[in-house]
Structure 1
């Protein structure tokens, strides 16, 4: 059975607080002002023990119009709403606004609780029930069960408890995310313990000892103790009403509206991309630069509204917007929010966050609209592809995607593997992935750099990899570049040889003077045999072309032993063959052995053998060489 949180909604004085007290025995109107005025101002909290002994949390949200902000603050993480309606009054204007808010916040599960049923006769009660059915026929509550109660007379409470229990048994267990998140709705201090905060844990888990980050301030704190429904716990889970005793932070350093997380999946932002719905009664619609109040989680901030893809969003219509915030928020993709007019303070719409940390958009750019539509769709594969193609970085990690989509890493990895099989993404490592379009982007960038290089150095076989790395260091790490280059070379999109990169269509063409120098260099190194020659001396054979021709020959007819010496490819291969044959026969070889075989100097022998060590043909063991193979 899932952990659930129940919320109440309804017009002022329709009996929400009395109903909760009748169900739980807990008084949620706790402040002197609330008791004096007879209405809920702040969020009230209680817990209900069901017949099967399962305990569920209850949030009593205030119903008065002036306290809508507190109502919205109580809704994140709520699974079931009890819409409370007085049997004598029926649906009131405030009830309708609550329904609008609940619908905009994506609440799916409702029970209609008719209260004070013993105060009216049967005929009036039936008329009210018919009116309720009619007024809710075009809302998400049209099929919600209706339960008659009278908390004072203890009527219908057992039936309501059984209905709640049945709901809790049917709702699937919540997927536990790796990173916990809690919207702070109350902050207070307890003598001898320090700062305490409360809220509904809407993601993941919190454990005693966890280090938490407070957003948007970025302050750090730790969990000293946890309570769930007034019981000490070592761990709290998503969906539970939670109280946290925090260390190293005063109650002045944290406030209602802040967000606590034990991971790094949040980021404070000044903008939000969203899909919004404008309510039918918002006759002026949603217009460019309208100043609105955004209620999300337990926060309320002002924002300027920027419609995307259309001039304005009319009443009873939907559309995309970018909200330019006047204060920073810390939310996640998928979070829902309410918009209220700056003045008068009426609810005009609401929506869902599609991108929690966007960049500024041009209002009518097609690729921006396409991306927002993908995010609206909610297709997980499409969302992953959209993230990978539109993020600034070339390479995306499983963690990046997991944090962005608010999904467990193993689920993301599984989806990425499926997308790889479809050819939509490329895997660079266990945790690094690239969208096919991003791979094309880096290929175009490499082509651009190589084309410029080839024009400047027409006889060089390609750009050294170290130089390539320096060109893309701001977008790819050296390891990432090496993997990308290897992949492109395997597909013949690039040529990779002797640690040099070249365009696949690049060919070296020599004029007659360069051809003559080439022949001179090759002849000289062949004649030199097992004696390496200095590159500097060879380049001086022709002041104009010698250096470029020499660089061209390296990796072809010449082998570079060091940055200073080369040998012909023919004699390098002879060296390899002689060394292998000698060691297979004699088990090992000394420099003197090689010198005697090749009739070369000790210095020449050492240069060749050290190169063979570097190429992993041989390995040095004390003063001898052995083969690496076998």
Structure 2
């Protein structure tokens, strides 16, 4: 039970999780016909919806002012929280002296301050206005306008104020018409128009990166995330989509390879590649580090890094941390020795491994940390064991 002394004007009784107190809402307003003065931007008003009477300001989004009888898109920025939902009607009054200015309909629960005269803001509000009166249209509109580009089922039920069963049925209808789809292991939903835009964003970012790095065959997904600015989970789902379409492949270690990617090397780069690879192969389990390579081979730091990246892309060498790189054959020898050591001893016996490999602590420590990172081994207290699975 709720003590009646705790109930105030404008309070709403609702199912848990569907409504929230809002400080900003988007709306369409019509100024009262015959009004003696126009509505102006940031005018102090009171918004009456349901039994609520909340103080705030009205921001005119598509006009400098509204004369009597004119309509416009606005955002209410409230000094006092308001509980309402898209489709709710309201009356707007001047804050002081109290007089009716007009009325209209709530269009959205705003997450951000909307910018005036921005086409995309006005288009989204118009789309939302067109969806009122139809839960199906509202659902499609919410997905098309999703600020995070996709939404889960709970977020959608709150957005359209409908049950999970009803929202699921509507999503199935929209999916059957190829208007929305479910992405990722968590089953988030996205509008197909948004999917096309996101995939184009990923493609453009990769095109720019490879244009700046013409000798590279692969792109680190971390560089891609930085280049396109997409959240990790969303980017992963988009890459899975592109991989399913055969446009790229995702390799272990977080590398992305566009389909048909070929690299043409100039004579200088080809010669540098051969020298670096031969030096690392000769070094076996105690190769020169990056600084030593730079000094020994007489390559500029930038040129050496380009060649090292190229050889990593080709699988000829492996970056095992810091400035240390191992040729593919000794790298495989180390991996095999670690697995064999763990299987025989139940955990990694480091002195035995060091003796078998004939290397020193300087090289062994970064190697062990590398194989922890790539998932071959795992730390368990003060020991290392093979990672399960």
TM-score by length of 2: 0.70
Q: Deviations for 1:60-87, whole angstroms, at most 9, x for unmatched residues? A: xxxxxxxxxxxxxxxxxxxxxxxxxxxx
1:435 and 2:191 correspond: yes
Give the C-alpha shift of residue 388 in structure 1.
1.8
1:246 aligns with 2:2: no
Number of the residue aligned with 1:554:
312
More relative contact order, 1 or 2 (CA 8 Å, 6+ apart): 2
Contact 1:425 1:436 in 2 (8 A): yes
Mapped to 2, the partners of 1:535 and 1:307 lie a distance apart of 57
Partners of 2:78 and 2:337 in 1: CA distance: 75
Structure 2 vs 1, CA of residues 627 and 390 (structure 1 numbering), >3 Å: closer, same or farther? closer
RMSD across aligned positions (CA):
4.9
Match of 1:425 in 2: 181
Q: Specify every segment of 5 or more residues in structure 2 that has no aligned partner in the other structure, as ranges.
A: none
How many angstroms apart in 1 are the aligned matches of 2:361 and 2:213? 36
Displacement of 1:612 in angstroms is: 2.8
Aligned pairs for 1:123-138 (under 5 A) are: none
Cα 1:305–1:608 change in 2 (3 A) is closer
What is the distance in 1 between the residues matched to 2:201 and 2:241? Answer: 15
Residue in 2 that maps onto 1:375: 131
**Does the C-alpha gap of structure 1 residues 554 and 535 become closer, same or farther in structure 2, counting only changes over 3 Å?**
farther
Distance of 1:602 and 1:340 partners within structure 2: 78
* From 444, 452, 468, the counterpart of 2:200: 444
TM superposition shift of 1:594: 3.1
Match for residue 213 of structure 2?
Answer: 457
Deviation at 1:336, TM superposition (A): 2.9
TM-score by length of structure 1 reads 0.46
Q: Deviations over 1:38-61 (max 9, x none)?
A: xxxxxxxxxxxxxxxxxxxxxxxx
Structure 2 residue 88 is matched with structure 1 residue 335: yes
In structure 2, the partner of 1:394 is 149
Distance 1:622 1:297 in 2: 61
Give the 5 Å matches for 1:169-318: 208=2, 225=3, 244-246=4-6, 256=9, 265-269=20-24, 271-273=26-28, 295-299=48-52
Aligned-pair distance for 1:378?
A: 0.7
Tell me the distance in 1 between the aligned counterparts of 2:77 and 2:240.
Answer: 47
Offset, 1:513: 0.6
Q: How far apart, CA to CA, are the structure 1 residues paired with 2:224 and 2:25?
A: 36
Offset of residue 335 of structure 1 = 1.5
SS at match of 2:132: helix
1:574–1:364: structure 2 CA closer, same or farther, 3 Å change rule? closer
Q: Which residue of 2 aligns with 1:608?
A: 367
Cα distance change on mapping 1:595 and 1:245 into 2, 3 Å:
same
Cα drift, residue 538 of structure 1:
2.7
CA distance in 2, matches of 1:623, 1:349: 72
User: CA 1:265/1:487 → structure 2, altered by over 3 Å: closer, same or farther?
Assistant: farther
- Matching of residues 504-523 of structure 1 within 5 Å: 507-523=262-278
In the aligned structure 1, how far is the partner of 2:189 from the partner of 2:348? 47
Structure 1 residue matching 2:6: 3-state secondary structure: strand
Aligned counterparts of 1:369 and 1:611: Cα–Cα separation in 2: 51
Residues 10-65 of structure 1: CA distance to partner in whole angstroms, max 9, x if unpaired?
A: xxxxxxxxxxxxxxxxxxxxxxxxxxxxxxxxxxxxxxxxxxxxxxxxxxxxxxxx
The 1:584–1:338 alpha-carbon spacing in structure 2 relative to 1, beyond 3 Å, is closer
User: Compared with structure 1, are the counterparts of its residues 522 and 284 closer, same or farther at alpha carbon in structure 2 (3 Å cutoff)?
Assistant: same
Pairs aligned (count)? 367
Gaps of at least 5 residues in structure 1 are 1-206, 209-224, 226-243, 248-253
Structure (1 or 2) with the greater helix fraction: 2
Deviations 1:525-583 (A, max 9, x none): 22222334412323442424222111221242111111221111222223333444565
Among 574, 577, 593, the residue aligned to 2:336? 577
1:471-490 mapped onto 2 (5 Å cutoff) = 471=227, 476=231, 478-490=232-244
Alignment of 1:6-45 (within 5 A): none
Structure 2 residue matching 1:567: 3-state secondary structure: strand
Q: Which is greater in Rg?
A: 1
Counterpart in the other structure of 1:563: 322
| 2:325 alignment partner, SS class | strand
